[in-house]
Chains A and B, each alone.
Chain A
């Protein structure tokens, strides 16, 4: 989907606002990225896992991915 924002977090907040409860699946109670989640901007992993302050440009692509493991 298309979402505007100058940082990863502002983009995420736009998406979370349209999908009830989605935010709690990606971020923990303090707003940090859950430990098995990874966010990439144009294929590069973000560095600020606590606040997701990494910059996003007007045409950037943001991927939210999770690692699934265990038996």
Chain B
């Protein structure tokens, strides 16, 4: 059972655990450093932490199971850009072949493939490691796909891969979501890739752009482990779901808003998912200054607004795409916000308790 929450923030990686007296911050790593994401590989207990030093670049650290000490390992590195190559993104800007953010870290392969990892980055490269992050290989097949030049930055200046779903039925099938570049699918372990974001659309703009899958901005994508044909996407324009392996997507509307960044799906029930809504899209604050979570249990036909224990006045917390997490049992949620608040729910979101109100800006949370 997962009992600890790992919280990646602007100024460190923090642990929260439940003790007598309730939930508390119980440990800190990399204090003062910008930790953007962490992963614990349940197959061997190894922890990985991604740092963005800004001036010094993107770094990756690893910690063996049960150990306190972290060791810096190589971060994914782009190959040398061929001399004379014109490589522009969807805005027409030159692409800098250099890792600028580790935006997704997930286990690759199946239960027996210890140490295999996927890593999604800005400016859009997908990397794989087969040796616990010791070495990384760029997925050239996706990076050199001609449609990659249609990808563009959304909220960030440059495109990036933030969601990676390894199919539990066959780990050769992987889907990744790109802001902004739609959803990409491989069925042959990365040898070939195809667009899989058909049906998503923006709500304003020229028709050719609004419905073009290559320009879609899925903020976050999740796949139900027990019902793997069911996917949810919190998209820039709305919520989308797929019940056919992510081949096509349909729009779902929620109150008080369908805008947000994070989404999680129940591990056994693909019709149950949670979102953190906000005012779309130039404001990006909770509706009415009240932090709420929305939950559907019927595949998006209806949503319940959950707010017990969450601030309902003058609250301007935004929960980023990796800032909402569900544990493996599907019973416990955690979310961390841009204003350093962290809340835990142990009843599927019906009620929440505050873990901290004093942390730095939260980028990502995970149950471990």
Residues of A within 8 A of B (CB): 21, 24-25, 28-32, 34-37, 66-68, 70
How distant is the Cα of A21 from the Cα of B74 in the complex, in angstroms? 8
Interchain CB contact under 8 A, B55 and A30: no
Interchain CB contact under 8 A, B55 and A29: no
Q: Which of B95-103, B251-259, B279-287, B291-299 contacts A (4 or more CB under 8 A)?
A: B95-103
Q: Which of B75-83, B145-153, B192-200, B342-350 contacts A (4 or more CB under 8 A)?
A: B75-83
Interchain CB contact under 8 A, A30 and B56: no
Closest Cβ–Cβ distance, residue B268 to chain A (whole Å): 41
How distant is the Cα of A31 from the Cα of B171 in the complex, in angstroms? 35
Closest Cβ–Cβ distance, residue A63 to chain B (whole Å): 15
Task: Determine the chain A residues whose CB is within 8 A of the CB of B55 once the complex forms.
Answer: 34-37, 66-68
B57 contacts the other chain (CB 8 A): yes
B54 contacts the other chain (CB 8 A): yes
How distant is the Cα of A21 from the Cα of B61 in the complex, in angstroms? 12
* Cross-chain pairs A/B with CB under 8 angstroms, 12 sampled: A21-B72, A24-B75, A24-B77, A25-B53, A25-B56, A29-B97, A30-B80, A30-B81, A30-B96, A34-B55, A66-B56, A67-B55
Task: Determine the chain A residues whose CB is within 8 A of the CB of B53 once the complex forms.
Answer: 25
Residue ID in chain B nearest A71 by CB atoms: B10
Interchain CB contact under 8 A, B99 and A29: yes
Interchain CB contact under 8 A, A29 and B77: yes
Residue ID in chain A nearest B76 by CB atoms: A29
Interface of A: prevailing SS: loop
Interchain CB contact under 8 A, A36 and B54: yes
Interface of B: prevailing SS: loop
Interchain CB contact under 8 A, A28 and B57: yes
Task: Determine the chain B residues whose CB is within 8 A of the CB of A67 once the complex forms.
Answer: 55
Closest Cβ–Cβ distance, residue B15 to chain A (whole Å): 24
How distant is the Cα of A68 from the Cα of B105 in the complex, in angstroms? 28
Give 3 nearest A-B pairs by CB, closest first: A36-B55, A29-B98, A28-B98
How distant is the Cα of A56 from the Cα of B98 in the complex, in angstroms? 27
Set A25, A29, A37: member contacting B78, Cβ < 8 A: A29
Closest Cβ–Cβ distance, residue B338 to chain A (whole Å): 14
Most buried by A among B96, B97, B98: B98
Closest Cβ–Cβ distance, residue B157 to chain A (whole Å): 13
Given A30-B78, A30-B81, A30-B97, decide whether A25 and B54 contact each other with a Cβ distance below 8 A.
no
Task: Determine the chain B residues whose CB is within 8 A of the CB of A25 once the complex forms.
Answer: 53, 56-57
Given A29-B97, A29-B99, A30-B97, decide whether A70 and B78 contact each other with a Cβ distance below 8 A.
no
Task: Determine the chain A residues whose CB is within 8 A of the CB of B59 once the complex forms.
Answer: 24
Given A29-B98, A29-B99, A30-B96, decide whether A24 and B57 contact each other with a Cβ distance below 8 A.
yes
Most buried by A among B53, B57, B72, B78: B57
Task: Determine the chain B residues whose CB is within 8 A of the CB of A21 once the complex forms.
Answer: 72
How distant is the Cα of A6 from the Cα of B98 in the complex, in angstroms? 27
Residue ID in chain A nearest B77 by CB atoms: A29
8 extra A-B contacts, CB within 8 A, seeds A24-B59, A29-B77, A30-B78: A24-B75, A25-B53, A25-B57, A28-B96, A30-B96, A31-B80, A68-B55, A70-B54
Task: Determine the chain B residues whose CB is within 8 A of the CB of A32 once the complex forms.
Answer: 98
How distant is the Cα of A37 from the Cα of B77 in the complex, in angstroms? 19
Interchain CB contact under 8 A, A30 and B57: no
Closest Cβ–Cβ distance, residue A43 to chain B (whole Å): 21
Task: Determine the chain B residues whose CB is within 8 A of the CB of A36 once the complex forms.
Answer: 54-55
How distant is the Cα of A68 from the Cα of B99 in the complex, in angstroms? 20
Task: Determine the chain B residues whose CB is within 8 A of the CB of A30 once the complex forms.
Answer: 78, 80-81, 96-98
